Amino acid sequence: MKTLKDLFVHTLQDVYYAEQQIVEALPKMIEKAEANELRNVLKAHLAETQTQVERLEAVFEMIDEEPATEICEGVDGLIEEAEELMDEVDDRSVLDAGIVASGQAVEHYEIARYGTLAAWAAQLGLTEAKDLLEETLEEEKRADRLLSEIAVQNINRQAA
């Protein structure tokens, strides 16, 4: 990679891979979650994530690139950690608290990446791409806030 545009495309491919891994991982988390509000937040976020994949495809099209993935060790590690945790916790209420934590780690990964991509798109003059990336960024931030809210309102208390 030699230019900011190269780095932008590379990171777009990395996030495109990450979103696809998240689409695969979320149903397992939904299945293991016990609290209704947690299942609902995760289900709503799965639907959002599918739209986010389409938004990334639109960004690839705006810059005349074929959508391609780049293996992203960051998200792979986060998902591996989430899956291990699901195997290691016996109590279902405690597991819910763990699922919230894993979900928030993934959300924060995406908040970092979309924040970076939007800033780079702005610098590169890709205004439409920047707007799409910021739309997803706001969704990720909202999903993270919702997870915090249900944790503090109920899930952590149930777990304790």
Site for its own copies contains 63 (CB under 8 A): no
In this structure, what token pair is assigned to residue 99? 């699922």
Per residue, the 3-state secondary structure of 4-73, as one string, reads: HHHHHHHHHHHHHHHHHHHHHHHHHHHHHCCCHHHHHHHHHHHHHHHHHHHHHHHHHHHCCCCCCCCCCH
Site pattern 119..138 for its own copies (x: CB under 8 A)? xx--xx--------------
According to CB under 8 A, which one of 23, 30, 44, 101 is a site residue for its own copies? 101
Is residue 154 a contact point for its own copies (CB under 8 A)?
A: no
Residue 146 CB contacts under 8 Å (≥ 6 apart), including other chains:
41
Examine residue 105 and tell whether it contacts its own copies (CB under 8 A).
Answer: yes
Based on the shown chain and the rule CB under 8 A, indicate whether residue 68 belongs to the binding site for its own copies. Answer: no
Residue from 29, 109, 130, 136 touching its own copies (CB under 8 A): that is: 109
Handedness of CA 75, 77, 81, 83 (dihedral sign): positive
Render the burial of 146-159: b for 16+ CB within 10 Å, e for the rest. Answer: bbeebbeebbeeeb
With CB under 8 A as the contact rule, the residue among 76, 128, 131, 138 that binds its own copies is 76
List 24, 31, 91, 131, residue binding its own copies (CB under 8 A)? 91
Applying CB under 8 A, among 81, 134, 135, 142 the residue interacting with its own copies is 81
- What span, in angstroms and rounded, lies between the C-alpha atoms of 98 and 93? 9
16 lines the binding site for its own copies (CB under 8 A): no
Q: Which residues bind its own copies (CB under 8 A)?
A: 1-4, 6-7, 10-11, 14, 72-78, 80-81, 84-85, 88-91, 94, 97-98, 100-101, 104-105, 107-109, 111-113, 115-116, 119-120, 123-124, 144, 148, 151-152, 156-157, 159-160
